[in-house]
Amino acid sequence: MQDLKDLQLLLDSRVPLVVIETHEEKKALDMLQRLARQRAHDLYRWSLTDGLSQMSFGPQLVPKGADHTEPEAALEQIKAQQSPGLFALCDLHPFLEDRPRVVRLLKDIALNHLAVPHTLVLISHQLRLPSELSRYAATYPLQLPNDERIMEIIREEAKTWSERNGRARIKTDNITLRKLVSNLQGLSVSDVRRLVRIAIWEDGAITDADLPAVNKAKFELLDMEGVMSFEQDTQSFANVGGLSNLRRWLNARRDAFIGTDSSLDHPKGIMLLGVQGSGKSLAAKAVAGLWGQALLRLDVGALYNKYHGETERNLRQALALADAMAPCVLWLDEIEKGMSQSDNDGGTSQRLLGAFLTWLSERQSRVFIVATANDITRLPPELIRKGRLDEIFFVDLPDADVRADIFAIHLRKRGHDPARFDLAILAEASDGFAGAEIEQAVVSALYRVSADQCVLDTDQIRQAIIETNPLSVVMSEKIQQLRHWAGERTVPA
């Protein structure tokens, strides 16, 4: 009902062009029909397939036999019509880019609004008006279902499933239902209903196992592939060597983020600074796994577009998607590549940084940021100060105990029992190795034993270690400089 009242107020304000961006075309048309009946106005609908047709009762004002499938012909007919009407134009968006005559006809109708007060409602899933039309237009967002309505849809779908399956009851629990409701926020009624069916109809149950599939389907509906990706492989902290301090920090804030402890502020995010290959990316995935949340990965470099303003628009769309996916973890990998200070890009990086900082300060959604960086000196101080993010953790090269754990993890991952190897010897031999380099030593040894047709043992891995020059040797000065800087300014992970 609130949707209807808000749309009525907008139409009463006599705006010539109204833009409704929605996938729920039928809902938008139903609302317009109800308002047309209440206001005794004629309502017309145009689409490329059906042309211009009258939806309301009363005298038919569209000439019979006339072909109005082409947008120019339909708009010329609207422009010529002297009695005021309400016109729903469905999917006109492709014709606003390469048909200047369409744009001009829309402007003519808008300019003549005082004499003949037509109202054109442009309904599309996504629509950007040309600048010459935007001053005559208002955008109307259809309200999305709240928690109550989402729960009502879940009950409706559960009842339908039950009636078709011999009155069997849906298997679930209140905690899982609350998680599902939270994960379905930001979607339209029809999309919520579709995803609830995905969760229920396969096995007649709503469990934690259904939530990743629901999150992935939701992400695909919101459509930001290329710039943003949905990471299904969220690692367990059991697969991350060391990082015990980070693990404790996250465990202490878990309930505050997922909403079970409402007396505390929601945590905002962290930055993981460290040596390349030290496990920052794996740790970012493990945050989502530890908290049981969807993980979105924003490719900061993919935001950049050669056209003025498109880079910032890409960022705003990506952050709006993260808001819609909340609660979730948003991973910004190698953030310095997109948010560093530069004077050679026409101010794009500065505008991008400004848009990101504004979102960080004003967002109300539960989106936890995990930003990873190799070179924090390239980042502006306003991004890394306290208040933007909660903490900066330094992921250092692993010590001997952690290196032994990492060897055990990668041996176990490849089907070998770590107890058969002298992990202490391997840990000592790999001093200065990052986690990724330890993994590659195991992989290299496996290739060697496969070629020699022998059994993998400690000596084979130790030989692979000897033959490897780690980054801490190849770029020792740079890494020592980074470790010195981080020792005084960050928290050890």
* pLDDT single digits (tens) 271-309: 888 777 777 777 888 788 888 787 888 877 667 654 445
Q: At which residue do the structure tokens 């049981």 appear?
A: 292
Strand order in the sheet with 86-90: 51-54, 43-47, 86-90, 119-124, 17-21, 137-139
Task: Lowest mean pLDDT of 195-204, 212-221, 246-255, 290-299, name the range.
Answer: 212-221
pLDDT number for residue 108: 92
Q: Are strands 119-124 and 228-231 parallel, antiparallel or unpaired?
A: unpaired
Q: Which amino acid is at 431?
A: D
What percentage of the chain carries pLDDT values higher than 70? 88
Domains in the chain, CATH or no CATH each: 2-139 (3.40.50.300), 147-221 (1.10.8), 231-395 (3.40.50.300), 400-474 (1.10.8.60)
Classify 421 as helix, strand or coil: coil
Residue 66's closest CA among 50, 86, 87? Answer: 50
Q: Which pTM does this prediction carry?
A: 0.62
Q: Which residue has the higher pLDDT, 91 or 278?
A: 91
Find the mean pLDDT for residues 435-442. 85
Residue 14's closest CA among 123, 124, 114? Answer: 114
Task: Lowest mean pLDDT of 103-112, 142-151, 482-491, name the range.
Answer: 482-491
Is the model's pLDDT at 59 over the cut of 60?
A: no
209-239 pLDDT per residue, tens: 777 777 777 777 665 555 677 776 666 666 6
Is the model's pLDDT at 62 over the cut of 70?
A: no
Is the model's pLDDT at 91 over the cut of 70?
A: yes
Q: At which residue do the structure tokens 């999917």 appear?
A: 91
Token reading at 432: 């200065």
Q: Binning pLDDT at 50, 70 and 90, where does residue 105 land?
A: very high
pLDDT number for residue 341: 60
346-389 pLDDT per residue, tens: 567 777 778 888 888 888 888 888 888 877 777 777 777 777 78
Residue 422 φ then ψ, to 5°:
-90, 90
Q: Are strands 491-492 and 294-298 parallel, antiparallel or unpaired?
A: unpaired
Token reading at 461: 């891995």
Find the mean pLDDT for residues 156-172. 84
> What is the distance between the alpha carbons of residues 131 and 378, in angstroms, rounded to a whole number?
36
475-485 pLDDT per residue, tens: 777 777 777 77
What percentage of the chain carries pLDDT values higher than 90? 5
Residue 325's closest CA among 178, 233, 223, 196? Answer: 223
Q: Binning pLDDT at 50, 70 and 90, where does residue 101 land?
A: very high
List Cα–Cα distances, 81 to 78, 86, 228, 382, in angstroms. 5, 12, 46, 57
Is the model's pLDDT at 453 over the cut of 60?
A: yes
Find the mean pLDDT for residues 385-410. 82
Q: Which residue has the higher pLDDT, 114 or 487?
A: 114
Mean pLDDT of the chain: 80
